[in-house]
Structure 1
Amino acid sequence: MLTDTFGRRFYYLRLSITDVCNFRCQYCLPDGYECDHDRDFLELPEISRLARCFASLGTEKIRITGGEPSLRKDLPEIIQACKQTQGIKTVALTTNGYKMPEHLPAWLDAGLDAINVSIDSLDANQFNLITGHNKFATVMKGVDMALAHGKTKVKVNTVLMRKLNGYALDQFLAWVKNTPVSLRFIELMQTGDNQTFFDEQHVSGSSIKATLLEQGWLPSLREKTAGPAQEFYHPDYQGTIGLIMPYSKDFCNSCNRLRVSSLGKLHLCLFSEQGLSLKDYLQSDDIEPLRQYIQSTMGDKKATHFLQERLTGATKHLSMLGG
């Protein structure tokens, strides 16, 4: 079992398979994707070895992220490789939803268990303003398809921005009243490229938490492979609400996840100074050297991300690691 010096256990791997994204979200890639490196992205055999290795170290859940992972034509094969790995119980995907109506059936056939869709506004015009794409109807169609499947957990990620959607809580709550999704509000995080935007738009999730509690929402128990959200449910609502508040006290105490970038670098934290290359270890089917190397790095994982001190490490934008 992967355990760090603070006693935290790591059941959850966030695996980026590309840093390319076709959206231009204001908080991440407002000017669109610009490649500043060789696109030596992880290949399917390397991904399979990674999955085997992390599973042997106690990982039970793999979340496939980007950039936008659906831009990889071999995404179904990647999902299948992870799902068929002994020890991996859950394979999840985070997507902007752009390609869901066309490709969701193939992802489900490959074994996808859960899907997170980024939707920062339920207003089509505001969605277009935030993402740079007039694709709200397409994304919502994909969400409806996933819900209709019935066996796939569906979550919606909404980044909180003071001037762009900070006023829309009532609209979101009305939506989850009759829609069985887990809607998670994510506090805007500062990265290397968005300091001015962060200063203008950051809003704490604590006010939303207070509102939920006042309206009778109740805390849910957290599973060991769950992400960092504080989850809430209400007996009168089909959907649930999650709050991801990285600036809150003791946020990192429950950390249970590691990250591997699309370039094959292990990141002990989303905001670590640099990734640790696993590429050389991924060229052989013998995963024992890789196991030993990953275990040897755990002593370097810090107690916290230091975001409160405005230290963002090497993370220029969230597309680098999928958040």
Structure 2
Amino acid sequence: MFDLSKIGTAQSLASTENLLFYCMTFAVILLLMGVVGLYLGRDRTAERIRSMSASMSRDNAAPRLSKTDATDPKGWKKGLIPEDPSERAQIRFQLGKLGFERPDVVEVFFMIRLFLAMITPFLVFASIALSRAGLLPEVLADTINGTGTLRMMQIAAVGTAIGFYGPGFWLYSKIKKRQSSIRAAFPNALDLVQISVEAGLGFDAAITRVGHEISRASPEIAYEFLLLQLEIQAGRDREAALFDMADRMGIDEAKSFALVIVQSMQFGTSLTLALKTYAAEMREMREMNAQEMANKLPVKMSGVMSMLMLPALFLITLTPIIIRYTAIY
């Protein structure tokens, strides 16, 4: 006769092992989510502003403004990182807009993208191998075996595509978000610069004052203004520093602002009048953009309404015909 007590003990041990495995998996997932949330939740712009302010207040210690040139990829990295220096410079410039200014930032970016692209196939093949070796819990092994090899390969392919193109999409979305926040707060920052200049401050002092005052409302603009002032104090040409700031911001308003300041300083015109005129033009531009967005709404609403109303109209129109046709035949 079978010993039912042993069978019950074995089943209880198996259930306990499965429960421990699920608890450990859940704990690891929570730990990873916590680490990722802690890293992504940091306000990198505010941290850079605090570091810059601390460096400016330490016994006249000059902050580090020099940047080390990135080296060309060597060895197996040539197949991973673009060899074209202009392409690497463009990627580094885009990453620099988000505050990632390490010399090897392009290499780190492509390494992370390679890791994310390979992690899903690795997990899929590892789970298949472990399930066939009998090292996984019974429920999880049955799920993997019931999924099918073709479906697992599809999951691996989709995970590879998401891991490979995901960082690029993330970088693009972060840059667009930063540009939107800069575009929304730039007119207010320009008004503060205009008021500071009218109050008697010079352009450099006005930029510094506005950069400190606007740090909470718009840390992105504050960082750019403070970095501009630090570059000018370090001996860089003001025109080049202004246009580089405009390129980092990535909006047309900043480029026009840099052009207005440069032309005013070159031709000796009144900086206050130039800022006042450009502020008025920017307000008109904002009003025109708002009107443009309002004029686009009827077109967008008509498309949505047609997609929602046409099926109902077809149903109302064709239902009597279908009922009569079915009743006759």
Shorter-chain TM-score: which interval?
under 0.3
Q: Which has the higher strand share?
A: 1
Q: Which has the higher helix share?
A: 2
Q: TM-score w.r.t. structure 1 length?
A: 0.22
Q: TM-score w.r.t. structure 2 length?
A: 0.22
Find the structure with the greater CA-based Rg: 2
Which structure carries more relative contact order (alpha carbon 8 Å, separation 6+)? 1
